[in-house]
Structure 1
């Protein structure tokens, strides 16, 4: 056989091996960079501690957001007031929200949209009281801790109204949900409007009573995922990736509850065995549930029906304001991203 030909074969094989090894080394040392980057900067999603945010917590812990090409930071806030302030100011792009808060923020001038329905509270929001207070009617003249201008005030107003009482019948103390629970434990307040995980801790400490909860008003408290409209318009592909990763987290929550509880315990700051009790008062919504939530209907389980009813409540509260309350709550709902995930 021709020696020159053999040399050529040897050189070609050597080149092929070198290129193959080089490619393998590149893939090994740059594995992370091969993930498609949807949005190169950090996206911050704010939240106040709540067991219903399981999908967000799991997607973060299991790095589903990272796999989708996103750098997501879940930023915890002690209460809604500070969270809403940062969101409205543009310090964060999105937040785990409540339909009531979302409408209030829009009333204040923020343009934002609901991109997913997270959960319905079914007992995890509540009004708790010391041992001698057995019912809502008993809180007249009592010290009541709640966060002004937020869901807690709306929830308290609703419960009082159902019992022919009003805010002028109580002694209000302005504290966030965690502080409200601590206030009743320390004796600063007689009654607290709060939610899980703070509610169970306080009740265990004082041996008190849950005198009203979201189970008494099913569908009233709905959690949603919202993003600022300016961010949605500029980075709709990032929003789509977030929604997809979120429902991947929901799937693990449904399929592997034990693993999910371990993750939730870390984010909620409780023991693993405490997680199931907190989740008892929450209905976490699946992708199919979202299909219904983003469908036009008059009931509270449709976002359209829910937002319209709460919008009327807020309109009534602000009836004496000089500012016009005329925006359409239907326009705050963006079903595009859910529809694409459902395909």
Structure 2
């Protein structure tokens, strides 16, 4: 496991105040849902961790309270400004906007997937109900556009347009993912296309939006977006691997969660299309109703690995990072910025959650 990059550890402190100020514009009911989702408050509105002193359960050991995630997208947005020769603070509205958009997608994604936990805490919809969580996600997305268009920067309109286009691609990818749930056959190319929208679109935008906001030349922004697109596919590949073989104590999701939900993730699709006896056995098991125990799920995981799905996903993630590095070289950022981008890429491919 690699250490968390400096740009990510420092970003949360830099972005947190602006993010809280933006979310503070929401009406009280919507704010309560959003604040819980970001990890700032408990379900009853008290500051995160307060329940530990009032008869509730404390935070999980080693898990900080009040954390809203890894700050990956905001860190990339700030780095992209530095790649274009601007101070990171000039891209603060961009960093806030991509984090708001990411939060919108997670609030909706938890409902669509029926996920009851998020970062070791109850998902917002399980506490406030699905309608309230949907509305909170919608509000955060609208807020993202507001924050960008208000930015006193030369590229504010272009950045808002790019984020809107990335969100449209994100939704298209999510829609394709839902369609996969009712289809018997899915090609690997289709699955990669889905991931390119659902995950990579917003990461590509995050890697270029700071540069766009500060008025960087189009070739620089395009190269940074190319880096982010490849990084996004690597991120999804690792996410899919963790969805099968990740440690529940670290990921915050049940063991073998993607198999229990019969998700057509990249390792699964690669294994199903491998044309081996194990692939045929896997296809038969995957069509059956979800079992109540874990024995069948463990057998499915074994077959995915035996069919080469795990090895393909691991190798493809490495290949995507190599391709990302080539795009980054085309952007020609300062050496220290390039090193930090690559450190984040390494973190993405070696993370355990």
Q: Same fold (TM over 0.5)?
A: no
Relative to its length, the structure with more strand (as a share) is: 1
Identify the TM-score tier after normalising by the shorter chain. Answer: under 0.3
Larger radius of gyration: 1
TM-score calculated relative to the size of structure 2: 0.26
Question: Relative contact order (alpha carbons < 8 A, sep ≥ 6): 1 or 2 greater?
Answer: 1
TM-score w.r.t. the length of structure 1 is: 0.27
